[in-house]
Amino acid sequence: MATSGAPEVAAQAAGGRSSQAGSPAGEPSAASQGLSLRLGAMAAAGPAEVVVVGSCMTDLVSLTTRLPKAGETIHGHKFFIGFGGKGANQCIQAARLGAKTLMICKVGKDSFGNDYIENFKRNGISTEFVGQTEDAATGAASIIVNSEGQNVIVIVAGANLLLDSEDLKRAANAICKAKVIICQLEITPAISLEALKMAYANGVKTLFNPAPAHAELDPQFYTHSDIFCCNESEAEILTGTPVGSPEDAGKVGLVLLERGCKLVIVTLGAEGCVMISVDDPIPKHVPAGKVRAVDTTGAGDSFVGALAFFMACYPNLSMEEVIRKSNFIASVSVQASGTQSSYPYRKDLPQDLF
């Protein structure tokens, strides 16, 4: 994708919806093939450190110079199929950084579902609890990305909405032995809440990303989230307060603390993040470094996956340092086209991050 004229944006730009504008399905890089062997061996060594309960989407991606207006047909210059879904994206990024990861999700018993299972295996992610169903197709996302890296996305959840309580019960041992669990809202919200409550009751750190946001979110999501991480648009939907600055983010963070959250992170695109917690109720702005974006799709998922990795593998780091490092990793992802295809591997990052 052309970068000329692309704005300077920070790692968090976009806050990342479920998406993948990457290499065609079934064509892993040599790096991913090699890493999958190492990560696969590591994952077999013990229980998963990061467990993700969430969505998988097959992404149908069109690249254009600009986004079409309502009712308008325009020509694009490239089309490809890739892997996406917020849950899977977050899991992939945590795995590429070196966490032992496990995905709990449901795909269709179709070619897209088969391809997705292979994608997890290539990335060293346990597929023991990746279910396949004949009752719905694998979730799909139609994505249009313009030359400045901006996107519009329509998702059809499909099999994602058939993940149920029985699936969670089968995976209960893995959930309860994890160090961190990640949940979002691209599956049935009640199932995400059930997973959070199961983990929370067993002392597992819970990381909740309320995306796509629901204005009438069940109050128990707030009280069962150790880390509540949302972007500015999600924060506005949840609180009714527009977020256009770090100061605004601090205000909505306080509202979310009052609802029972323990630590809130509001991502702000080029402005970085604002964090606020029960232990330190003064909002703290953590800036993000500026980069020239190629494609911001999925940057927020890279950030969340990195958060989970550092929380699980470096538990003694301060949350401010975890956020700073996660910002950097997400900033790498926006400098290449695609979502999972743009997510960096540990070996390609500055080693002082680790």
| 316 vs 322: CA distance, rounded Å | 10
| 228 vs 210: CA distance, rounded Å | 8
Among candidate residues 132, 119, 142, the one with its CA nearest the CA of residue 17: 142
Tokens 């109050």 belong to 219
Among candidate residues 302, 300, 226, 285, the one with its CA nearest the CA of residue 257: 226
Tokens of 126: 């346990």
Q: Count of CB atoms within 10 A of residue 72's CB?
A: 8
> Does residue 333 contact residue 11 with C-beta atoms inside 8 Å?
yes
| Catalytic site includes residue 279 | no
Which segments of 8-85 does DSSP mark as H helices, in order?
30-43
Among candidate residues 104, 105, 103, the one with its CA nearest the CA of residue 91: 103
| 100 vs 138: CA distance, rounded Å | 25
Tokens of 267: 């991502």
- Amino acid letter for position 304: V
212 cis-preceded (ω within 30 degrees of 0): yes
Catalytic option among 248, 301, 348, 352: 301
How buried is 282 (Cβ within 10 angstroms: 0-12 exposed, 13-18 middle, 19+ buried)?
Answer: exposed
Among candidate residues 142, 28, 30, the one with its CA nearest the CA of residue 84: 142
Coil, strand or helix at 80: strand
- Catalytic residue ranges: 301
